[in-house]
Each structure stands twice: as C-alpha cells, then as structure tokens.
Structure 1
Amino acid sequence: MHKFFVFWLATLTLMTSLGLGCVMADEQPSQEEQNNNGGFMELSSTLAAFQSRFVDAPQHIGALLNLRLNYQWNGFFIEDKGLQGLGLPGLGYNFYHDQTWSFDVYFNEIYAEMASDDAYSLGNEQDGLKGINPRRADHRVGLRSTYYFDDTSVLRMLIAPLSARRGQGMHLAAWYGKTWQRQNINFHTIFSAQYDGSKTLDYYYGVDDSEVSDKFTAYHAGSGITLSAELGLTYALTKDWVLESSVKLIRLPNSIYHSPLIDPRVEAIAQISLVYVLF
C-alpha cells in the first residue's frame, strides 16, 4: 500500500514542479512582490502534555520557551511559523510566486539528533535510549512547492533528495492546511504524510550488532510513511499578545512498529502557548 502512496506523492510533487514552467510562461511576479521584504519575531512560552514515541519515555507535562523568527529579503527567507507552519522550520530562497503557486529551494532539519547529549528533547523523553549509539541530525536541501486553493486552503509538497548524511535516499512530504474563523478565534487543521527510505529509518530506529543488549535486540527498519493530523486555534488577546493551542497525533511507519527504540505506535502532543509579538 505504501509503495502506491509513495508513487502518487512523487508523481504529484514532480507534476507540480514541472508545472512551474507553464505558470511562469503565463504570469511573472510583479516588482512589488519581488520587493516584499520584512517579517516578524515572536517569543512563545509553551506548556505541553506529551506522549513520546521513544521506549520508556514518561507521559509528562513540560514547559518550553521558543523564539520564532520569520523574515524575507529579496527572495531569501527564514521560516518558523509555529502552529500555522506547514512543515518544519528552515531557510531557503523563493524563486517564484504568484497568487496560486510558490516555489522554493528549502533547507531544513528532517530528523533531529537522537540519544546524544546535544539531542533536543522534552524533559527526559530519551532517557530510555541509553546504550544506543548517538544518531546525528539529518539536514536536507530540496524543492518545495506550494499551491493555494484560496485564502483558507493550501497544499504544500517537498522533495528533498540531498542530505548532509550521504546515502540516505529520498525524502518526500506533503501537507494540507485549512483555516477558518469563528467570532474572534482562528482555527486550523493540518494533515501531513512523510515518506522516508529504509536507510533513513534504519539509521534512526534500527539496532545494529554493536548496540545489542538485553533491552535492545537487533532490528532492521524498512521504508515507511509517517502520517499526522493536527487541530489548533489562535486567539488575539491584544495587539502584541496571542494565545495558541493545538492537539497533534503522529502515526509512525509500520516498518518501525517493532523497533526496540519505539513504544507507542502513535505519538501525541497537546499544548497551549502564550505568544508575544516582538516585532
């Protein structure tokens, strides 16, 4: 089943990328759009209830403080839109956009470090991985395309074959987001699918012979698809203060279900944040 989905996702991404030539032939961005520079910075204070994917991770509540910067200058940009973002934070160059399409060269971190002193984690969620060799982060460069159905619905696709870690294979991802408003509350939903090859998933969730112990048996992970769904809301308290909240479920790939590094098959996080807009 997932092979058919990967073929569909790759075909859809390729078609939208090839469609760039037709779009550019019909319409070029205006000078005003090309000079649309600027951005904003936010400070987010978050309280989150988290059920981690990792073995022996406690279900707990943790606090996070996050600085989010979004800025664009002559096509170059830094992007971290928090709850409203489709995909992970990153940076890149937007080489074409109009009212319907946007195309970027995008650089971001697909997988964070695992089982290392520098690994970012909520509380002690990775304490159960002691005895496993550290996994380095996976930074990738790819082509990102965005299609705007209207002012409230958007489809975004990413094809990222180039990794800082050699021989990791293809990464494909797609997000669909929709927003709507009820009185003064803005709601959003985001659905996503992410495909990774066997080399990537086996690196992060497999167990090789050097790591085998009474707790961790040898394991090889194949390719697979990660699915997620999110429901959230934002409410402007004042001009500079915003309240955000969301619930997100992440269904892990079938190929890592029996990895000794993984316990639940569905990762869940619920959070509420108080955001201050710095500029």
Structure 2
Amino acid sequence: MTHGMRIERLLLTAHILAMVFGVAGLVLVLPHPTWVLALPVAGQRLFAWSMAGGGIVYILLGALAVGLYGLRVLGARLLWGFLVPAVGLSLGSELLGTSTGFPFGHYGYLDGLGYKIAGLVPFTIPLSWFYMGLVCFLLAYGGLGGLRRDWVRLAGAVALGSVLLMAWDLALDPAMSQTPVPFWEFQEVGAFFGMPYRNLAGWVGTGAVFMAVAAGVWGSVTLNLSRRDLTLPLVVYLVNFLFGAVITLGLLEGRYWIPIGLGVLLGVIPAILCWWRAGQAVSANVILPELDLITR
C-alpha cells in the first residue's frame, strides 16, 4: 500500500467517524438535553462545537478523500476535468435555486455548513456535489463496462450517475430540512414528503449537466475499473446514504420509509450491482488516443 493510499483510508475513516458522531448527536443526544447538561463544561463546549461545525468537517473530509482517490486512479487531468464543472455548475445551480426557486424549488440555507457564497450557498455544498457526483459517475461507468462504444458508455454513466445522485438526496433532504436541527428549509410545502417534485428533477438535471460536461472534457477515454478500484466510491456512497437515512428514520415519522425505500431501490441496489459488475481486475488503466498511460 502506498503512502497516498494510506492517507486516503485515513481521510475516509475520519469522514465516516465524523458522520457517525453527527448521527449520534442528532438522533441520540439532542432529544435528551439532560444528557448534555450532565456533561462537564468542556464536554458541553465540545458538543456545541460539533453540532455547529460537524457538517463542515464531514464534507471537507469526504471531498479530500475522494479527491486523493481520483488523483491516484484517474490522474490529474481527468480529476480536474470533473472537479471544475462539478463545483462550478453545481454552485451556479444552487445560486440560481436560492435566488429564484429554479430548479429545486424555493429554499434557503441556514447556518451550520460554513461561509455562504454571495450570502446564499455554503462553500461546502459544491464540494459535496463534487465528491458524491464523482463516486456516482464512476460506479455507473464501471457497471456499464459491457457497452463497447466509449460515447455510449459515457452517456449511460451520465444518465445512471445522475439518478444515483438523486437517490442519495431522497435520504438526505428530509434529514437536512425537516428534522429539529435543519441545515436548509423549503419555503414552499412540497408534495413529496415535504420536498417539491421539481427538487428531485433539479438534482437529476444538475448532476446530468456537470457529468455530461465532464464526460465531454474527458473525451475518448477508456477506464478499466475493477471492483477493487471502485470500493472507495461504493463505501462513500453507502455511508453517505446511510447517514441521511438514519437521521430521517430516527427523527421523523414512520411514513418516511417510503422515500428511503425508493432511495434504496434507485440508488443503493444499483450502486452495489455496478460495483459487482466491474469485475476483479487488479489495476485501473487509462487509455488515451495515441498514448498508453497507466496511472499507477
């Protein structure tokens, strides 16, 4: 194992632990304020800091882990070719959404996710679009290895990857907007468990746009991704989905099993199947026109 891979695993572990700590605080501790009051002063301060800054930490750790993974497996050109449109276009979509209500519906961010760009969108939000977008795209691409034409495979990865991204939101959105400690709120009553239907369409559309732009930047590239190569993306996808699902089911009424179940059907199961179909090859090669570049 290389030094870079050790750092990836360390960041991934810290990312997971930050989410576990956040879930425990939101689901177990906050509903029982006497537990917090029983802590020593230092413990109360630590808990208050974690509730105020925990969202920032877990997103930053996830973006760093996936970024280092992408640099190792994809190389700098392909990583930046995805990161720039993912961050730039998702930020533009979020700024448009918080200003006009298109494409997600009328909503606004509260405190807890860091400095707000233009006073509207926390800087961590485009980073979450990047790291979850990349893992969704790579899982979809790996699962569609049977498609021999590069452009067909890339188009399929854009379509499936954007659906995987939206499926994650089915678990995340109720957890982040409707629980006792929300991070954003809709300014309209959504027909789908508090969410406007166009919010789901906005997720698919935003993901599809920046994935399509990234696919265009990548051009004629063939990635031979094995199960081993896609293990980190699968773990990131599953733990982030579980994070939202546990908070939603732990703090909201039982009928929220429906969006969680849809998320499992449209996201978790396809993600696992994509990982399984990727095969057991040992290495991930990037084949470019006129060049044979092996990224390891």
TM bracket (short chain): under 0.3
Q: Which has the higher strand share?
A: 1
Q: Which has the higher helix share?
A: 2
